[in-house]
Homo-oligomer: A and B are copies of this chain.
Amino acid sequence: MRLSQSFIKTRKQVPSDETAKNAKLLIQAGFIHKEMAGVYSYTTLGLKVLENIKQIVREEMNSIGGQEVQMTVLQPKEIWEKTDRWDDSKVDNWFKTKLANGTELGVGLTHEEPIVDLLKDYLSSYKDLPIFVYQIQSKFRNELRAKSGLLRGREFIMKDMYSFARSQKEHDELYEQAAKAYSRVYDRLGIGKVTYRVKADGGIFTDKYSDEYQTISPIGEDTLFNVPGTDKFFNEEVAPSNAPQISVDKKKLPIEDVEGKGIVGVEALAKFLNIPVEKTTKTMIYQTDSGEIIAAAVRGGYEVNEIKLRKVIGTKGVKLADEATVKRVTKAEIGYAGLLNLPKEVRLIVDESCSNRTNFETGANKTNFHTINVNWDRDIPMPKEFYDIKVAKLGDSDPESGKVYETKRAVEVGNIFPLESKYSDALNLYYIDESGKRQSIVMGCYGIGVSRLAGLLAEYFSDDKGLVWPENIAPAQVYLVRLGDSGTTVKYADRIYKKLVNKGIETIYDDRDMRPGEKFADADLMGIPHRVVISDKTIQADKIEYKRRSDREAKLMNEEEFFQILK
């Protein structure tokens, strides 16, 4: 590509509302154009980066038998109603539109329902399974905020794969095959060493974890909990955790109700009561779909983790109780719920962080009052079992190994999900087994955000001068700078360009009438791996000037040496 004939230019300015480093880098280098928050167009350079990433993903999905298809953006609501994912109260980030006759349509945000619906035309027998089907396509999510450039798009490019198995066991094998393919993708993208398989929430319809692939990065939106020295990682949202032990008082003090009105937060409460935060208790009243009332208690300084709570209770639908219910069961205004004197209908679920405490505080279930110096068994029966229902935090340890976690910020670059038979059953996709019996199909889904990866890689492979693409992602291998426009130089540079093109080496030929410094700056900004300079001077020396993007200094070398490097 001759820059003199390309519309692409690097830019000094980025849109004033652009705050994400990845988008800034890519806009300045001429790779993308911002249409609106979370919606970007791709120039020729940006598109090549996307295509390179897609191709790696495609090859690895194909390597495990993935069959590529292309589903549609426009979605009929009927199939989504069958899985209860149509209503905006259930899925809050749909874009919706309408046919001219008023029929509502969805704008595709994921494709579990359509792939199951499509396969109803094709799958029926055990002989048809197992299979992997995938597509690479634009997806649309009506995000409230989209300030992370390519990392969180309202319109973004995604590879989504779905597996269909005859049994849980067969599913588990497919799932691990896909996991291995994912690892290979990240290895090939050059981020394998900083990308981890992380246990995450499996969603509301399964007890299982899902797996996320997370790349360690300071810009990450997620916090990972890692057992040091192992590759055991949990997303903060599910990390099982033991709180650090606190010291036990030798003497049990007399229980006492202390008046303290309108104190907000456990820090303020601890200060007011002159006790350590660890002796306070946070008690939250929940309600399940079936009407059960739960009092969930964690030690001061922790929050209740609803994902963990849900699994303890064993039901999908758990939400904070409404004000009337809280008042009824605690006989107090909001803010004074505690462990004492709760009616029998309330089930108490207490986090392990509360277990080994003496003389602790809890809400008094009496407006404006807090009870202090509470002790298990003396004042309230010790629960038969303590649970882990807290959001893990720094200092907590892994219950299995006892090791204190390390935490890291990370960007999610993929996820794989066991779906059990939720979608296949709901949409009536079954198979007939060897004995003629109808059986459920066990599904998995596997996502990789292609445009998100482009953003992550841009940011990850960059320095203060711009982008630093790895060779297999770069939109071109060589940035050929022609300095001056003497006949000899033009002829020489044109010849090198032609030779590169003939060898199938993607080359950006900077044949513009611009100052050397500007050309070098553009080569750096665009992050092209190999830079070559041709000038009267280099021709006189019968050399070319070569610099790797990641090198500091250029050096002179023979043409042959240069072509050797590209091999």
Contacts and interface: CB of A to CB of B under 8 A. Distances in A.
Interface stretch (A31-39, A263-271, A434-442, A480-488): A31-39
A99 B141 CA distance: 9
A475 to B, nearest CB: 11
Contacts of A143: 100
A376 interface: no
Contact of A41 (B99, B118, B144): B118
A176 to B, nearest CB: 19
Given A121-B11, A131-B7, A35 B65 contact: no
Nearest to A122: B7
Nearest to A15: B121
Interface in A1-23: 4-9, 11
Interface string A47-71: 1001000000000000001011111
Contact of A9 (B118, B122, B142): B122
A74 B122 contact: no
Contact of A7 (B9, B100, B119): B119
B65 A42 contact: no
A76 interface: yes
A209 interface: no
A4 B40 CA distance: 41
Interface in A129-153: 131, 133, 138, 140, 142-144
A35 B122 CA distance: 15
A155 interface: yes
Interface string A369-395: 000000000000000000000000000
Contacts of A100: 93, 142-144
Interface in A365-422: none
Contacts of A43: 67, 69
Contacts of A101: 144
A36 B123 contact: no
A97 interface: yes
Contacts of A131: 5-7
Given A39-B72, A40-B72, A7 B67 contact: yes
Given A33-B121, A118-B41, A138 B73 contact: yes
A6 B513 CA distance: 54
A276 interface: no
A11 B144 CA distance: 43
Interface residues of A, number: 59
Contacts of A140: 73-74
A95 interface: yes
A368 to B, nearest CB: 40
Contact of A107 (B7, B107, B142): B107
A114 interface: yes
Contacts of A70: 41-42, 46-47, 50
Which of A11, A123, A142: most chain B Cβ within 10 A?
A142
Contacts of A123: 7
Interface in A459-494: none
Contact of A122 (B8, B76, B513): B8
B74 A35 contact: yes
Which of A40, A43, A69: most chain B Cβ within 10 A?
A69
A128 B41 contact: no
A154 interface: yes
A311 interface: no
Contacts of A71: 35, 41
Contact of A44 (B41, B44, B67, B97): B67
Given A35-B114, A74-B95, 12 more contacts: A7-B123, A33-B121, A35-B74, A39-B72, A39-B74, A42-B69, A42-B70, A43-B67, A44-B68, A73-B138, A73-B155, A100-B143
26 contacts: A5-B131, A6-B131, A7-B119, A7-B122, A7-B123, A7-B131, A7-B133, A9-B122, A30-B122, A33-B118, A35-B114, A40-B72, A41-B72, A43-B69, A44-B67, A44-B68, A44-B69, A50-B70, A72-B155, A73-B73, A73-B138, A74-B155, A95-B98, A96-B98, A99-B142, A100-B142
What are the 8 A-B residue pairs with the smallest beta carbon separation, nearest first?
A42-B70, A95-B97, A41-B71, A97-B97, A7-B122, A33-B118, A35-B72, A44-B67
